[in-house]
Each structure stands twice: as structure tokens, then as C-alpha cells.
Chain A
Amino acid sequence: MADIDKTIDAVWRIESAKLIAGLTRITRDVGLAEDLAQDALVAALERWPEAGIPDNPGAWLMATAKHRAIDHARRGKMLDRTHQQLGAERDAEQDTPEAALAESMDDEIGDDLLRLVFIACHPVLPMESRVALTLRLLGGLTTDEIARAFLVPVATMAQRIVRAKRTLAEARVPFEVPRGRDLEARVSSVLQVIYLVFNEGYTATAGEDWIRPSLCEEAMRLGRIVGGLMPGEAEVHGLVALMEIQASRLRARVGPSGEPILLLDQNRARWDHVLIRHALAALGRAEQLGSSLGPYALQAEIAACHARAPTAADTDWPRIAALYDALAQLSPSPVVELNRAVAVGMAFGPAAGLEIVDQLRDEPSLERYHLLPAVRGDLLSKLGRHADARAEFERAASLTQNARERDLLLERAAASGRPPDDGPAAA
């Protein structure tokens, strides 16, 4: 009994997005489409345990949902146009098997799925609603799961989803793939939503509800789906590569007692090399598309420099510094600049790094950012200015919210009074 529920879960995970996408094309109403899909799922949960799982569960769900849609239309709750369209589709199916076959062809499903992606990530919605709707409509997650993942009450999340669907209906958001000048901004919203989901999972700590870390998996899957739907968009492949390389380090970034392990100190044998290989292939696709690399692809290139290096000592720091340089020109930010300082310090010596960091000291947005004094302390200690370094590490320790990180910084502060050892860690 439990087994069949899990099997239905798996079918739902594989089929639900395609189902909702197809139904949205027919009904032109994503909210109604989702209700119909849910009805079909309920029907499956009732029927399949007795009758067995059909050979083509996706087709069964679609047929069931279409019948519900016709019932719904007969009750006069849908537009005539929809009714006619449904009737015509059903006739076509009955008349010619070819028409039914053509309808199920991947191209069209792919188009519908892509339209659904753009609806869920539509700018008319607030960001948190885009995220919720994307996970619900494309990830096949339940409202309950999404609520747990984002640490909000289920009722709040349910309301957020209902309101989002209403907003889409009221704004008469068309079921289409944006074109021309619109496309770039809309793609960028989709990528932003996916990366936000990923980061929500990435920042979750061990011991929390499993659903939070699993957001990383969800985001990578969504990214790969969108990459398959828009193979010509380099930034999609860049984002997939970026997420996969970051995720490849998930199990190496925490020590046995939960302490964070810095990138350069991680055991590279524990990195997930299957993910890395897939990521490098995705990055290769982004490069082959020929246009200059966007921010996601550039960040992925930087991450790839680490992923490709067999040991920390093999890291190609001049290349990383150059990539940060490109990133800083494309999307300048103080945090990017700070990272560039670290790379420059590693590539061309601590004095060169310190020069960049010192220009950030009056940057208001970094005033309470613990990594600024942490980086500065590291560079100072490499230059042998131990008293200055100690003050910076102490300041960094006082700013961080993370207890384990504070311990690490205080250790470095204490060590700065002693003669330098030969292996300073990068911040």
C-alpha cells in the first residue's frame, strides 16, 4: 500500500509539470489547470491501488484531467472558446490516431513546459511567489513541502500560491514564450528564481529538515530542464554548471563536528566528481554558444578553476583573478571586488591584494561584513604585519553571526601574535 503511494509520487514528480503545462494550453488558466491536474492525481490515488498502474501513467492522467475539464466546461464555468477547443481536440483524437500522436509529440510538450516556466517566473509576481509557484508547478512539490522548505506556516504558503494564481489571472498573463527584447529580462527572472531556490538549500545547515538541503537538488533539476528547453541560452548552462560545482562540494564543506571547512582546505576526493563532470560539460555548452559569457557562466568558470585543480596548490589564481576582473566589469559589486582581492593576493602577492581591499574600507555596504576584515587580516599576516592582522581578525570575529566561524577567526587572531607558520589559509 505504501509502495504504490510512493510509485504514484514518482509518477507525479515525472509527469506533473507536463500535465499542468498541457492543461494550461487548453484552458488558458494556470490555476484551473493545476486544479484539474490535482483532481487527476486524486483519481489516480483512488484507482491505481486496485486497478494497477497503467502502462502509460502520464497519458492516463492527461485523459482523466481532460474529462474533468470537459465536465467543468459543461457546468458553464469555462469560456466557450475553451469548450470548443476541448471538443475539437477530443474529436481529433477520436477521428485520427495520428492527431492524438502528434499532440503528444515532445516538441509541443516542450513548448508548453517552457511557457509554464515563464508564467511561474512572471515579473508581475513578487519574487517569493515566483519561487513558490515554480516549485509547485514545475517541481511537483506539495504546498506543505514548500512551506517547510522556506520555514513559513503551511497556511501562509497556501495563501501565497492562491494569490499568485489570482494575480496571473487578473493580469491576463499570456501563455507564451516571450520574444525579442522581452526575452532576455524574462530569462533572467527564471534564472534568478532557480538560483534563489538553490541558495536557500545551500545555506541550510546539517540537522535541519531534509527538505531544505533537497532544494539544491530541486534547483539543479529545474536548471537542467530549462537548459533542455532553451539550449541556445548560454546563461542557463552557466547557471547549471555553477550550481552543480557548488553542490559537488556539499559533503566536503563541513567537518565531522559540524565545523565549516574552507574551500582550499577541503578534501577534494570527497567532491562529487560525477556532478563536476556534468557541470564542466554544461559550461562547455555555454562557451560553445559563442557570445561573451554572462555573470552565471563567469562565476561557473571561476568555480571550475577550483574543480579542475587536483590540489589547492594547483589552483590557477591568475586565471581566477582575470575572471573576477571580467565579472567586476559586468556586474560590479563590493563583494565581487573583495573576492577579486583574494584572487589577486593569491596570484600576485598579498600587497597587490591589500591594495584592492583598502579601497573597500569605506564601502558602506561592507561596514558590517565580517569577511572584509577577515580577508584584510589574512593579507596583513602574509605581509608579516601581525599586530594589524590580529586587530582585523578580532574585528571579523566580532561581526560574524556564526559561532564556529568566530572560533576560527579568534584562533587566527591569537596565532597572529606568534611567529608565522608556513601554511596560511586563504579566507
Chain B
Amino acid sequence: MGTLIDEMTNAGVLLATEGCQPSARGFKVRRTGDTITVKDGPFTESKEVIGGFAIFRVKSKEEAIDWTKRFLALVGDGESELRLIDDN
């Protein structure tokens, strides 16, 4: 993974990335009406657990997909969700 991060950094496209610790060390804060509840991890009931994030600066959707393919080739089966950052 370090090699891929280096490659992405040295290609000038990766601005930031962090990996998350296990969900056992996380917690969820939920608001329902006026009530706030805090629930400690692990989130065993969730089908998906966020493993980390990365911020890229690329020219096209296709370029973002290409880098994501290289990431998934390393981590194995799973899903990456790609979102655009608001820039107004």
C-alpha cells in the first residue's frame, strides 16, 4: 500500500489520505428529533465499514476510476465510493 501511495503522491494527484482504525475504536452520534445518542463501536450490524479516505485532484472521472482500480487491485474485493468535493 505504501508503494501505491507513493506512486499516487509522486504522480501529483493525491492530496491527502488516511486509513481508519477498527470500528471497535469508533462511535456513532445520531440525532433523532431532540435526542442525541452516542453508540460505541464495533458496528457489527453494518454491512459496510469505512476503511479510510483519500482526496485526489484529477482531470476526469476516468482518471479517478483508473487510480481506484489500482487501489482495489491491492486491497482485494470491496467497494470504493467516489464523491466530488464541492468547489463553489
Contact = CB atoms under 8 A, between A and B. Distances in A.
Q: Do A and B bind each other?
A: yes
Contact of A278 (B10, B16, B63, B66): B16
Nearest to B62: A10
A250 to B, nearest CB: 9
Contact of A7 (B10, B11, B65): B65
Interface stretch (B1-9, B20-28, B39-47): B1-9
Given A14-B63, A222-B12, A223-B12, A217 B6 contact: no
Q: How large is the interface on B (under 10, 10 to 19, 20 to 34, 35 or more residues)?
A: 20 to 34
B18 interface: no
B60 A224 contact: no
A273 to B, nearest CB: 11
A45 interface: no
B56 to A, nearest CB: 10
Contacts of B62: 3, 6-7, 9-10
A217 B10 contact: no
Contact of A9 (B6, B60, B67, B85): B60
Contacts of A223: 12
Contacts of A6: 60-62
A226 to B, nearest CB: 9
A339 to B, nearest CB: 29
A130 to B, nearest CB: 19
Interface in B42-87: 55, 57, 59-63, 65-67, 85, 87
A224 B66 contact: no
Contact of A13 (B3, B6, B59, B87): B59
Given A9-B60, A10-B60, A10-B66, A106 B16 contact: no
A275 interface: yes
Interface in A216-258: 217, 220-225, 228-229, 251
Contacts of B3: 106
Interface of B: 3, 6-7, 9-13, 15-16, 55, 57, 59-63, 65-67, 85, 87-88
7 contacts: A6-B61, A9-B60, A10-B63, A217-B57, A220-B57, A224-B11, A229-B10
Given A14-B63, A222-B12, A274-B55, 7 more contacts: A6-B62, A217-B59, A225-B11, A251-B87, A274-B85, A277-B16, A278-B15
Interface of A: 3, 6-7, 9-11, 13-14, 106, 110, 214, 217, 220-225, 228-229, 251, 270, 272, 274-275, 277-278
